[in-house]
Structure 1
Amino acid sequence: MKVTEVRDVPLRLDRRRLIVGISGMTIAAAASQSASAKSSREASGTAVTYPVTYHRTMVIDGIKIFYREAGPKDAPVILLLHGFPTSSHMFRNLIPALADRYRVIAPDYPGYGQSDMPDHATFKYTFDRFGELVGGLLDQLRVTRYAMYVMDYGAPVGWRLALKQPERITGLIVQNGNAYDEGLKEFWDPIKKYWADGSDASRKALLKLVTLETTKFQYTDGMSDVSRISPDNWVHDQALLDRPGNSEIQMDLFYDYRTNLPLYPAVQAYFRKHRPPTLIVWGKNDFIFPADGAHPYKRDLPKVEFHLINTGHFALEDKFDEMVPLIRDFLNRKIA
């Protein structure tokens, strides 16, 4: 109507009114288009959501366990189990990418992230203990069925949960986490020496594995494009590794890792008996857990969905955009 008025009185053109009128029409058109687009998204089931991640703690057996949680309380549960030397921080991007449809829980083990770090002289830092505490957390959260994403140290923690209560596991996502001897190669030689002799000299030789140089190496080696990796990762992890007493905790865990190998036959038998739906998304350039450790899963899980990805140890930092569609597709078909 305002435009019509201007046309009727061309010699008394009110530029302010014209601009306001056109702006009003533009805003109205934009609002109409936005409403139409929203209606179209909702009709097609693709409405954009932005899940909130909550940062919580719970005391299990006297130990404060920190965990990240997101997603509907009544949705299928995905348990994310982190590796060394990081924490649930490694899943900070994956959590909201899954939480629109799943309840996602990602704990920190003692000595990692924001969980308690009791003195190693009074607390046993073992994978058995980690499994017990994560299991205790799930019990307190009343989680009785869940899929697991296991990576690095998360694999032996997860295998203990699966062996104890196999009926609870709805599926597996394995990213650079071993269940076979084949994957423990060159990186592991000095650690194996410590397993063999248990000497102070062998223990001290492993201290280089908790230095900034090694932490940065884990994030950058074998990556397809290092510019995709945020330096915040190794700054964050190293700050926690450098806490007084933490290096001794890490040495205890390097030594206890030897207890995982005798468990492998039982884990493989679990695969064969229960046939959990399994997705492998493995960084094939990983020096710590090379692809030699990924292929054997196919022996015991013939229907495994298998993907070797052109990246390194912390694959989610480099190939998040490639991995998330694979993960979501797998979960939507097998778990939802």
Structure 2
Amino acid sequence: MTVTHNTLEIQGQQIFYREAGDPSKPTLVLLHGFPTSSAMFRNLIPALAGDYHVIAPDHLGFGQSAMPPVTGFDYSFESLTALTLELLDTLGVGRFALYIQDYGAPIGLRIASRNPERITAIITQSGNAYLEGFTPFWEVLFAHATDRVTHEPAVRKLLEADATRWQYTHGVPADRLGLISPDTWTLDQAYLDRPGNKEIQLQLFYDYRNNLDGYPAFQEYFRTHRPPVLIAWGSNDEIFAAAGAKAFLRDLPEAELHLLDAGHFALETHGEEIAGLIRDFLARTLN
């Protein structure tokens, strides 16, 4: 299946996205997390594009999208949401399913809760929407959000190579570590090491606390609109714990929950399994 690599100007910024599949078929939008890009979907896109029209953008400041300095753009999750929605509008995408992971969750769930009529289904893979999902990993980040000067040195360590590699390897069973290509964390780190990018990431770290204020609206959206939801989550994820996956069932008891023996980037070790879950789920849901 052919995947094309494209760029559109949105709000004066160059936004990169991968696209595959027949646009006349149901659309699935894949939203990546930190510190990666749409490259995390390099295998999932062709696995799904035979049946679906798949779009995977790079958020501004990530991957191949533009990277204006923090002095030239308001880096916030609200701003990233607006760019994503305008990209989809520009591409003429009306209704679509969402795959949300990590940072993709507060972006995608803002879109969904504000435009419920456009959402056909949601797949969440370590895409948090409940306080139960937060682990001790977040303590320094939330401390940084209240006192940036004191805690910035500790938070900057999360932008270094060891921390990037840890995100991919932690929680992965020993017999599956060989499935993770070193290209993953090497590419992510190369993007992080671009001049000015760490300042962008620090700004988004600071803004992340505002996502929690949106959780009640996300949860009300779940209760009111009952979107079909597939939860495919690494049970060993130490960034967003399995408790965050289970919490979806409180508002969406009919959601499908699959806890995988994986870490934060479950696609790297369970990509074929997740692709199969998605195909089965969307075939039943969208038909």
Q: Indicate whether the TM-score tops 0.5.
A: yes
Tell me whether 1:256 sits opposite 2:207 in the alignment.
yes
Of 94, 100, 103, which residue of structure 1 is paired with 2:44?
94
Between 1 and 2, higher relative CO (CA 8 Å, sep ≥ 6) is seen in 2
Partner of 2:136: 186
Note the alpha carbon deviations across 1:202-251, whole angstroms, 9 max, x for none.
Answer: 12320000100000000101112110100000110000000001001000
Partner of 2:169: 220
Note the alpha carbon deviations across 1:42-93, whole angstroms, 9 max, x for none.
Answer: xxxxxxxxx1000000000000000000000111000000000000000010
Identity level (%): 54
- In 1, Cα distance between equivalents of 2:153 and 2:243: 28
- Any conservation in 2 of the 1:147–1:335 contact (CA below 8 Å)? no
Tell me whether 1:247 sits opposite 2:203 in the alignment.
no
- In 1, Cα distance between equivalents of 2:132 and 2:146: 18
- In 1, Cα distance between equivalents of 2:126 and 2:93: 25
Q: What are the within-5 Å matches in structure 2 for residues 229-240 of structure 1?
A: 229-240=180-191
Note the alpha carbon deviations across 1:2-25, whole angstroms, 9 max, x for none.
Answer: xxxxxxxxxxxxxxxxxxxxxxxx
Structure 1 stretches of 4+ moved >2 Å: none
Q: What are the within-5 Å matches in structure 2 for residues 150-229 of structure 1?
A: 150-197=100-147, 199-224=148-173, 225-229=176-180
- Any conservation in 2 of the 1:284–1:309 contact (CA below 8 Å)? yes
1:157 counterpart SS class: helix
- In 2, Cα distance between equivalents of 1:153 and 1:333: 27
Tell me whether 1:74 sits opposite 2:24 in the alignment.
yes
Partner of 1:320: 271
Partner of 1:141: 91
- In 2, Cα distance between equivalents of 1:107 and 1:293: 25
- Any conservation in 2 of the 1:58–1:66 contact (CA below 8 Å)? yes
Tell me whether 1:286 sits opposite 2:237 in the alignment.
yes
Q: What one-letter code is carried by the residue in structure 2 that aligns with 1:327?
A: I
Q: Who wins on radius of gyration, i.e. which is larger?
A: 1
- Cα shift at 1:201: 2.2
- Cα shift at 1:96: 0.5
- In 1, Cα distance between equivalents of 2:58 and 2:179: 25
- Cα RMSD of the aligned pairs, angstroms, is 0.8
Note the alpha carbon deviations across 1:241-299, whole angstroms, 9 max, x for none.
Answer: 00001001000000100001011011000000000000000001011111011111000
Tell me whether 1:109 sits opposite 2:62 in the alignment.
no
Aligned length: 285
Tell me whether 1:275 sits opposite 2:226 in the alignment.
yes
Unaligned runs of 5+ in 2: none
- In 1, Cα distance between equivalents of 2:48 and 2:273: 14
Unaligned runs of 5+ in 1: 1-50
